[in-house]
Amino acid sequence: MTQETETQVLPSLDKRTWVGFVLGLWLTGVFAGSLFGRIEGGMSSTYKIIMLGSLGWPVGYFMLSRCRFVPSGFSSGTIAGLIVFVLCCGLSSFGSRAALESINYTVLTMLTALVVLQFNTNLDTAHYETALKSYAVLMAALVSGFAAYDYMPGSRLGGGKGILNPASFALVTMSVLLAAMAIRRAIVRMPILVAMGTVIFMTGARASAVAALIGLAVTMVSRRRIAGVSGYGLLAFCVVVGAALTAYYGDAVIRGLAGFFALDDRYRGLDSGGTGRLETWNAAWNLFLSHPVLGVGFRVHETLLKMNTSAHNGYLALLAEIGLIGFAAVVYFTLAGLWRIWRRSQDPSQTYTYSVLLGLACGYFVLAVFERYFINVGNPTSLLFLLSILTPSLASSISGSAVHPEQANDQDTADGDQTDWSPLYPDTSLSRDRIRT
């Protein structure tokens, strides 16, 4: 070190990979592959091959890129929970009436879990923000294009051409809407929010609409620490204007909400027993009671239900499929992951990004009460949920274990250097940041 003050550029994590954009591309590709596979092959082997390729190609990317291939930095509790979950899935499959189908889903879930852990090993806060932005922009174009293609007057959006169903389409759109909150420029963010909100409304999917609202509320509340005076002023203005419009157009608002939530509908309203869900939930609970230890087989409860195509409750479905032990393991690592997201969202340098992941996770927890599966790998919303809850441990982030070995060799190890390169402090990982020596 010289007596003179020099300026040195810190090694940049962004030089390591394009991992943030790759994540956004992967999530978008899963939905694109699902659409293409359904159009070309329905639910045949062609569809399964396309989905396998869509989910598994990042393994090759991590093998050939400068990223760390072997996942690391995760808490022992998270790893133990995942192992117990996978073991219960496998054991339940062997005793299932649809053993081959269950084994296939178990292997596919294991592969996807590996990809998720690989991404989370190499992602920092800046990469996460890039991933969410790219996913929001790419998926907004794809969702809007499919909505235009599928739209048929008089039908709920998503079911016009019979490729998807309205609930599935809304589930995917919900994560796009929330991911758009990672975009800092309002001129880009607002059109995506409006477009995706319109798509969800036109699907008539009530669960996804409620989940999206809860996710937005959690995201905005989490950002109160960094909102500033202008942010609070804008929020107050929106609340006042919204309340005034609701009061002035009260009858129209009530009629609109009653129509959207189909409160008086014969088949979807209050008198239908939650679209028949109460009876189906009871049937799923009875499936669990008949196989309480290992369940009826991962992802095959639908083959045993006699009164509906699905349990329409992700928690009951998982409980019936893999039994109490596996379900307890899933509850553990999901709640532990939610706690880690919340802790990271409390750091002002990470609030903007992790508030989105926290909002998405909270919304997904609500959505799973009414949807078919809790742990799922067939759509980008479920994948984003897995990415959120399977983040590395906080201690690992502080120690900077996600730094690639080639970067570690480039770092200045001189005495007295107190720079922290961990993802917990993203501002020190950008190339524009400098230190004085």
pLDDT in tens, 108-154: 999 999 999 999 999 999 999 999 999 999 999 999 999 999 998 88
Phi, psi of 265, rounded to the nearest 5 degrees? -70, 140
CA 181, 186, 192, 193 torsion: positive or negative?
positive
* pLDDT tens digits, 267-305: 555 555 455 678 888 888 988 999 899 899 998 888 877
Rounded Cα distance between 374 and 72, Å, is 25
**pLDDT at 85 > cutoff 50:** yes
How large is the average pLDDT for residues 91-98? Answer: 86
Distant-in-sequence, close-in-space partners of 367: CB < 8 Å, separation ≥ 6: 171, 174, 207, 208, 210, 211
Bridge partners (DSSP) listed for residue 8: 435
**pLDDT at 78 > cutoff 50:** yes
| Contact indicator for 15, 403 with CB cutoff of 8 Å | no
- Write the single-letter amino acid at 407: Q
Of the candidates 172, 206, 244, the residue with the CA atom closest to the CA atom of residue 28:
172
Rounded Cα distance between 401 and 397, Å, is 6
Bridge partners (DSSP) listed for residue 162: none
Pick left, alpha or beta for residue 297 (phi over 0 → left; psi -120 to 50 → alpha; otherwise beta).
Answer: left
Q: Binning pLDDT at 50, 70 and 90, where does residue 36 land?
A: confident
Question: Which pairing describes strands 7-9 and 434-436: parallel, antiparallel, or unpaired?
Answer: antiparallel
Q: Where are the domains of the chain?
A: 16-403
* pLDDT tens digits, 399-426: 443 344 334 443 333 333 333 333 333 3
Helix (H, G, I), strand (E, B) or coil at 7: strand
Of the candidates 139, 149, 130, the residue with the CA atom closest to the CA atom of residue 195:
139
| Contact indicator for 193, 378 with CB cutoff of 8 Å | no
What is the per-residue pLDDT for 4? 40
* pLDDT tens digits, 367-393: 999 888 899 998 999 999 999 999 987
What is the per-residue pLDDT for 410? 39
What the block records as the tokens of 296 is 């009826």
What the block records as the tokens of 171 is 């589930």
pTM here is 0.82
What the block records as the tokens of 396 is 């690992």
Distant-in-sequence, close-in-space partners of 380: CB < 8 Å, separation ≥ 6: 27, 28, 30, 31, 135, 139, 172, 175
Rounded Cα distance between 18 and 20, Å, is 6
